[in-house]
Structures are given as C-alpha cells and as structure tokens.
C-alpha cells in the first residue's frame, strides 16, 4: 500500500470519527504493544469510534481497501491477540456506556468499552454482581473479555464469560450490523451466532455491545487460606465443601510455596499465609445468598463462616489438612485475595518468564502438575516453577523463571506443558485465547476437521481476511 493510500485512509477515518479521534505516530504508542512488553508493532492508525454505526463505517472502509483491522479493548491480553502491524487499530474505549441495569431481570446492557470494575460498581448499587473477576478488572473491558471468553476466579460457581452473556451486538467483516441483543435465557432459533462471536478474538466480527447476566451479591463471604499435602487432598476438600455448603464455593485457588516465596519477595511488607511454609496453599471462598446463612449469631459469626470453620476443623482432626487461617474481617479477606491476584505481577519479577494456560479434568490436576514440573526441569534443571491455578475449574497457569537463555529451550518447555495437558484429556488454552502466541499448539493439537470447519467459517464471513488477520487460526499448510 502506498503512502498516498495510507494518507487517504487516515483522512477517511477522520471523516468518520473526527480527526481528533484518529491517532498516529508516537501518540499511538499505548496501542502499539502488548502490556507484557513482549510484542510490539506499528499500526497504520488508531481509530476511536463513538458508536456502532461509526464502527460499521470503519469496517466497510477497511473491507473496501483490504486494510487489516484489529479491535482492541483494555489490551490486557497475554497471547499477542492485538498485534496490528500496518493495521487500523479500532479502540472501543469511547464506547463505554452502561446503557441500562434491570435488577428485576438481573441483566445489564453495556457497550464493549465498559471497564469491568465500572460494571461491578454500578450493579453493586442494586445488590447484584457481574461475577467476572480477575486481576486486570480495573482496565480490562467487557468487549475484550467477550472476545476471548475470559475466565477468572469465579468460573467454579458462575461460569466463564460465555455463560454470563445473553446477547451481543456486533459488526461483521462486511460492515453489516448484526443485532443479537437477546434478553432471553432460551432461544433455539437457529445457529447460535452469539456463541460463535464470543471467543473468536475479533476474527469474525467486532462485538460492540452485550446483554450480560447479573447475580445476587452474596450477603456474606467466608474466606480462608488452607494448606494441604497434595492437590488431590485439595480436590477432596473442594468436594466436601461443595456438599456441606450446597454448592456455595465461589473460588478455589491454588498457590504453591514457590509462588508464595516470590510474592513475599515482591511484597516484603506482606505477611506470609502461615507461620510454617507449605507447598500446597489454597484460597477458598464461600458466598452466602440466604439471610439464614449470612446473619451473624450472638457471637458475631455468620453461619457460613461457622460452617467453613467446622469443615476445616474436622479435616484437620482427620489429618487431611495441614493448616488453615479463616479471615476474620474484610481486611483479612482482601489480604488473602491480594496474593492470588498478584500472580501476573509476581511472574514478571524476572525479565524472562515462560507461561502457559492449560486445563484438565479436575481429578487430573495433581498428575498434570507433577508431569509438567518434571518435564520443565528436565529441559532446564535451573528453572523455578511458580504455577498458580483456578483449582476449582481445572485451569492451571504454568509459569516458570528459566535459567537457560536459549529461546529453543523456552519453546520446548511451553510445548511440553501443552502436550502433557492434552495427553490427560485437557486443552492448551483455557481462558487467555489463542492470538499469535498459541498458534503452534493450535496447529499441533487441534482436531484437523475442527480446524477445517473454522477456516470455512472464517472464509465465509471474512473472505478478504481483514478481521484481526493471522490470529487464532494457523496458516493452512495443506496445499
């Protein structure tokens, strides 16, 4: 594409959104890198539309000219899903309205640029929650969460982003606006295009708004950090708590001793979770919805907290629990959560970090952890593994600080982790998406017939290949 054409495109973008909302050169730096700093690029321009019609006009312009277009929300991804060399970066940050909250129907209608923490704050005023919680919620936007089908710490009780969405509005690659803003819990009227767009990482269209499901905010929480001898013992604890509480477990998060060491290195002012160091530490939280479980008794303790303590005490007496600390205040609860939510920050204490995002059936978590740790140490005996996991839903984030500086060794470790997860009936991508980073795994492990079907869908909807090109689907090398 010639420079004159580039200039004409930038001028045309300005005619759509206003010249002040088209950003180029050094001013585009915030949209020119992934937040980890590993991936960098130079976009043609960043366009910041104010509404869905402007998004549609930009997409039509890109489709006519064959210009790549890459949607970006909070840009908090980890798989190079927003790389946009020479592309129009379409930022949804101006489309941030929370259009409507309907407490009786327990839904909210939001635009894609709405930041998760703003949604949380807005619905909390109605005694409700939007239960998609993870460390980057202060900058991550709902559009990005939908495009990657993000997970977080509460999937165990509420499901991933796909389960929290009733409908979407989107702009297809030809610039047509598709209105799928259903508020229905049941709708069997043909193919579910909503679910096709969710998790597609902007390769099939740009989600501009959504109808999201809300849930009652728990009236009380019971939160504890516990130490067990193994992940299998942790799974037994989870099943016991689910049975005793009637499915009230909101989160069940694993942090190994090496991670705790790293956290205390990053935060020397913080207290260790226990007096003694343990290899398997679990953050568990129950949420009480019924007043009978949340109303404090004469001793000031809520029934849900008493129930948690009773179960933990019983397991301790049985020898199935090594230690436990139950939060006695909101301050202590937040202190416990701060450890878990610092995982991305902690992993990057060292300049190099190898990370994977895999999932297996719950009863395979211990053997997965053992196998990937052994494989990684075979490849790099000096590696420091600092895995964390959403243990309650089988999602393990393998992270490690390598001693080797050889990129081939790093690549081999990542491949070995993916291989072990798939071998155990799991997946190489649990909640972060595919982007560019996971395409080798996609090519290696995804069912060939499934890949062919995905390519057919992509070709049918985006024949010019303009929508976030190169992401998700590896190149077809069959020819």
Q: 145 and 74 in one domain?
A: no
CA angle 384, 332, 328 (to 5 degrees): 130
Report CA 394 to chain centroid distance, whole Å: 14
Residue 447 located in a structural domain: no
pLDDT of residue 81: 86
Q: For residue 115, which phi and psi values (nearest 5 degrees)?
A: -75, 140
Q: 286 and 261 in one domain?
A: yes
Tell which of 91, 108, 126 closes a domain. Answer: 91
Q: 112 and 205 in one domain?
A: yes
- CATH assignment at residue 143: 3.30.465.10
Q: 355 and 338 in one domain?
A: no
Residue 81 located in a structural domain: yes
Q: 365 and 275 in one domain?
A: no
Tell which of 320, 343, 366 closes a domain. Answer: 343
Q: What distance in Å separates the CA atoms of residue 142 and residue 333, rounded to the nearest whole number?
A: 26
Q: 8 and 57 in one domain?
A: yes
User: What Cα–Cα distance (Å) separates residue 193 from each residue in 167, 205, 391, 423, 424?
Assistant: 10, 11, 31, 31, 31
Residue 251 located in a structural domain: yes
Q: 247 and 318 in one domain?
A: yes
Residue 311 located in a structural domain: yes
Q: For residue 407, which phi and psi values (nearest 5 degrees)?
A: -55, -30
| Predicted confidence pLDDT, tens digits, the chain (479 residues) | 344 488 899 999 999 999 999 999 999 999 988 877 778 999 999 999 999 999 999 999 999 999 999 999 888 887 888 889 999 999 999 999 999 999 999 999 999 999 999 999 999 999 999 999 988 888 899 999 999 999 989 999 999 999 999 999 999 999 999 999 999 999 999 999 999 999 999 999 999 999 999 999 999 999 999 999 999 999 999 999 999 999 999 999 999 999 999 999 989 999 999 999 999 999 999 999 999 999 999 998 999 999 999 999 999 999 999 999 999 999 999 999 999 988 888 887 777 888 899 999 999 999 999 999 999 999 999 999 989 999 999 999 998 999 999 999 999 999 999 999 999 999 999 999 999 999 999 999 999 999 999 999 999 999 999 999 999 999 876 43
- CATH assignment at residue 35: 3.30.43.10
pLDDT of residue 477: 61
Q: 227 and 339 in one domain?
A: yes
Residue 166 located in a structural domain: yes
Q: What counts of helices (H) and strands (E) characterise the chain?
A: 16, 21
Q: 337 and 251 in one domain?
A: yes
Tell which of 309, 343, 377 closes a domain. Answer: 343
Q: 246 and 147 in one domain?
A: no
Q: Name the residue range of residue 26's domain.
A: 3-91
pLDDT of residue 3: 44
Other beta carbons less than 10 A from residue 405's beta carbon: 9
Residue 110 located in a structural domain: yes
Q: What is the CA radius of gyration of the chain?
A: 23
Q: What distance in Å separates the CA atoms of residue 435 and residue 474, rounded to the nearest whole number?
A: 10
Domain total of the chain = 4
Beta bridge partners of 221: 287
- CATH assignment at residue 385: 3.30.70.2740
| 174 three-class SS | coil
Q: What is the DSSP letter of 28?
A: G
Residue 467 located in a structural domain: no
Residue 463 located in a structural domain: no
Q: 202 and 128 in one domain?
A: yes
Residue 449 exposed, middle or buried by CB count within 10 Å (0-12, 13-18, 19+): exposed
Question: Angle formed by the axes of helices 365-379 and 407-423, to 10°?
Answer: 160
């Amino acid at each position: 594409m010639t420079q004159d054409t580039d200039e004409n495109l930038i001028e045309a973008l300005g005619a759509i959104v206003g010249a002040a909302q088209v950003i180029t050169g050094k001013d585009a730096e915030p949209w020119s890198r992934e937040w980890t700093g590993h991936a960098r690029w130079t976009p043609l321009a960043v366009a910041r539309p104010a509404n869905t019609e402007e998004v549609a006009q930009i997409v039509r312009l890109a489709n006519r000219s064959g210009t790549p277009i890459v949607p970006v929300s909070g840009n908090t991804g980890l798989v190079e899903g927003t790389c946009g060399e020479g592309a129009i970066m379409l930022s949804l940050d101006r489309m941030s309205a929370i259009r409507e909250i309907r407490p009786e129907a327990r839904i909210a209608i939001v635009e894609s640029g709405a930041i998760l923490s703003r949604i949380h704050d807005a619905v909390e005023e109605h005694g409700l929650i939007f239960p998609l919680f993870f460390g980057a919620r202060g900058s991550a936007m709902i559009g990005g969460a939908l495009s990657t089908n993000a997970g977080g710490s509460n999937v165990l009780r509420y499901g991933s982003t796909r389960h929290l969405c009733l409908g979407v509005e989107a702009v297809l690659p030809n610039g047509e606006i598709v209105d799928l803003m259903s508020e229905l819990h049941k709708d069997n009227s043909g193919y579910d295009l909503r679910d096709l767009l969710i998790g597609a990482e902007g390769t099939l269209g740009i989600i501009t708004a959504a109808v999201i499901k809300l849930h009652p905010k728990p009236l009380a929480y019971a939160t504890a950090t516990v130490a067990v001898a193994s992940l299998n013992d942790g799974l037994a604890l989870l099943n016991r708590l689910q049975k005793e509480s009637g499915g009230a477990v909101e989160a069940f998060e694993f942090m190994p001793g090496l991670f705790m060491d790293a956290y205390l290195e990053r935060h020397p002012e913080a207290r260790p979770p226990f007096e003694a160091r343990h290899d398997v530490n679990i953050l568990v939280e129950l949420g009480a919805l019924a007043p009978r479980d949340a109303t404090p008794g004469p001793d000031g303790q809520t029934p849900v907290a008493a129930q948690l303590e009773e179960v933990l005490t019983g397991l301790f007496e049985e020898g199935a629990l090594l230690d436990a600390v139950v939060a006695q205040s909101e301050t202590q609860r937040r202190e416990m959560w701060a450890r878990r939510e610092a995982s991305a920050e902690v992993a990057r204490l060292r300049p190099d970090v190898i990370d994977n995002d895999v999932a297996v059936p719950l009863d395979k978590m211990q053997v997965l952890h053992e196998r990937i740790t052994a494989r990684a140490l075979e490849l790099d005996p000096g590696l420091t593994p600092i895995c964390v996991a959403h243990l309650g839903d089988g999602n393990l984030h393998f992270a490690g600080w390598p001693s080797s500086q050889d990129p081939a060794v790093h690549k081999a470790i990542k491949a070995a982790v993916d291989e072990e997860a798939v071998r155990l009936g799991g997946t190489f991508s649990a909640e972060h998406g595919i982007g560019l980073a996971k395409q080798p795994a996609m090519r290696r492990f995804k069912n060939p017939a499934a890949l062919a079907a995905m390519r057919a869908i992509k070709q049918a909807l985006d024949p010019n290949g303009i929508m976030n090109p190169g992401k998700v689907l590896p190149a077809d090398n069959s020819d």
